[in-house]
Amino acid sequence: MPPPTDLPKSLYKILPTAPPTPLPTTLPLSALDATDGYIHLSTSVQFASTAAKFFGDATELYLLRIPYDKLAAGVDSDGTEGKGEVKWEEGC
């Protein structure tokens, strides 16, 4: 799927538990991310439906805001530029 016409300034990772403090440079993959082979992220428009669909029983959620330009630069989890990529999928 091609990216939206108006690219978001940020994408969000929804976490069911608090991230460590201070926030490290990288976090381990969730079980779903590891199984699917990519990191699931949401736009600000998708957040509510994603949270309801996948975290409906949660009483508390945490959002990590990730600047889109950092993702679009293609920096992979090991810090190697040019390996990672943003793919757009609709699902929620």
User: Domain locations in the chain?
Assistant: 10-20+28-72
Q: Which residue has the higher pLDDT, 87 or 65?
A: 65
Cβ count within 10 A of residue 10: 16
Strand partners of residue 52: none
Residue 52 has what DSSP assignment?
Answer: H
Residues with Cβ within 8 Å of 66's Cβ and at least 6 positions away in sequence, in order, are 10, 11, 12, 13, 41
User: Residues 69, 4, 77, CA angle at the centre, nearest 5°?
Assistant: 35
Averaged pLDDT, 10-37: 89
Please say whether the beta carbons of 92 and 50 come within 8 A. yes
Averaged pLDDT, 60-84: 74
For the whole model, what pTM was predicted? 0.76
With cut-offs at 50, 70 and 90, classify the pLDDT of residue 6.
confident
Read off the pLDDT of residues 74-88 as tens digits, 9 standing for 90 and up.
655 555 555 566 666
With cut-offs at 50, 70 and 90, classify the pLDDT of residue 70.
confident
